[in-house]
Structure formats: C-alpha cells, structure tokens
Amino acid sequence: MVWSQPGHCLAIGRWNSIDRTGRLADVTRDGLLRRLVQLYIGLLIYGLAGALQVRSGLGLDPWDVFHQGIAKRTHLSFGTVVIIVGAAVLLLWIPLRQWPGLGTVSNAVLIGVAMNVALQLLPTPHALGVRVAELVGAIVLCGIATGMYIGASFGPGPRDGLMTGLARRSGRSIRLTRTLIELSVLSVGWLLGGTVGIGPVAYALAIGPLAQVFLRLFDTRRESARKVAAPAGRADPVTVAEAC
C-alpha cells in the first residue's frame, strides 16, 4: 500500500524524498517513527497553545475571530462554522495542488481533544501579568507546534495547508504568507462582528516569523535527505522549508 504526494511517497517501512538532482533520499523505519512522534507531539502542543490563549482572556486567534464573526452573521454555532470554513479552505487547496495527508486528518481530530483536556486542567488567572505571560506562551507554543507537525511531512491542517500552498506557489516566504493570511482573516472577522483585542493582533503579527523559524528547525524531510545527499556532495533537498 503506497500513499503518494508530489515530491515524496510513503510505503510500508520506508519513505522517500526527492532532492534537486532527482535522486531518492531514503528514510528508515526509525525515521518514520520519529516523524509520527513529532507529528502527534506537535498537535498536542497546538491544543495546549489554544487552551492557554483562551485562559489568558486577551482575545482569540485571528481564525477564531473570523469564525466568531461568521457565527454572529449566520446564527450558526461556532463549531459548525469551524467545520464549514475548514471544508471551504480545503477546496482552496485544489488550485494550489496541495494534498491532504495523515497530518490533515489528525489535525482535525487531535487538536480539539487536546484543547478540551488542557482547558479542564488549566486554571483561569486573574492577574494581568499572568494572563499576558499565558498569551505570549500560547503564541510561541503555536509556532513550535506548527513547525513540528508540518515539519513531520504528513500534511498540514486545512488552514496551515493554505499557508504552505500559497507560499510554495507564490514563491513568498512562510513568514510573509502566514502574516498576510492571519491579518486578512482577522480584518474580515472584525468587520463581520468578531471581537478583536490584543491577543489576535499579537498572534497575527508574531505567528508568521515564529512558524518560519520552527519549520526550518523541525523539517524532517530536509534533515533526512541532507544526511543522504551530503556524503556524495549533492544539493540540499527541496522541502517545505524552501518556502521559508
């Protein structure tokens, strides 16, 4: 059984990426296990980051401001809007030639579960200093989580896939692409009636640069293919981090 995507394929026990020379960089079962661990730790951290931002009480992330604005206009539930928007964003993947993977499905399921568990465990702070610290921590953790789960190369979630697809097709950096997307959905959400505070603005401005840094750090395809390419003096592989 083989799952394929432009630039790489996953078979039982072995994953191959294609470097600039067209040669295959092989990754063993150990490499596959590492990627799976990185994927799911990243998604758990993503859920924790979302819970911290909620507990800070300083505002939702830009996409949730957008969801909130649509919910107010349509009178649909927040969760229903999240699902509809996610499906609509996935349709935007088609012209971008972006393909879903295990990470896409896992993103849709695990982040919400992790966020619910974290919200049950985290207390609600009252001191402003603690709330600001939680907001800053949430944004940094979200950048780390984005780098980990996308860098595992099992496919991004719907909204992050829009980011990576646009970055790849336009030739722009992850930093610029993510920032423009976040500011756009934040602005539209605010116009639709979503609540905007310091939280979503700080998130929109900081998450792009953070995602760029951590995508480079956690890109397993770049690291694995470089180990194969380096001894023979071959060029670095083309990976998602090239868009950074």
Q: Which phi and psi angles does 6 have, rounded to 5°?
A: -50, 125
The two tokens of residue 41 are 């730790």
Say whether pTM exceeds 0.85.
no
Whether the per-residue pLDDT at 237 is higher than 60: the answer is no
pLDDT, mean over the chain: 80
State pLDDT tens for residues 83-118: 888 889 989 998 988 888 898 888 878 888 888 888
State pLDDT tens for residues 72-82: 899 888 778 88
Whether the per-residue pLDDT at 230 is higher than 80: the answer is no
**CB-CB neighbours of 74 under 10 Å:** 12
pLDDT band at 222 (very low <50, low <70, confident <90, very high): low
Domain positions in the chain are 3-243
Integer-rounded Cα Rg, in Å, for the chain is 18
The closest of 208, 199, 86 to 143, measured between CA atoms, is 208
State pLDDT tens for residues 120-151: 899 999 999 999 999 999 999 999 999 999 99
Kindly write down the DSSP assignment for every residue of 60-105, as one continuous string.
--HHHHHHHHHHHHH---HHHHHHHHHHHHHHHHHHHT----HHHH
User: Which residue has better confidence, 12 or 104?
Assistant: 104
pLDDT band at 8 (very low <50, low <70, confident <90, very high): very low
pLDDT band at 13 (very low <50, low <70, confident <90, very high): very low
State pLDDT tens for residues 154-202: 988 888 899 989 999 999 998 899 999 999 999 999 999 998 889 999 9
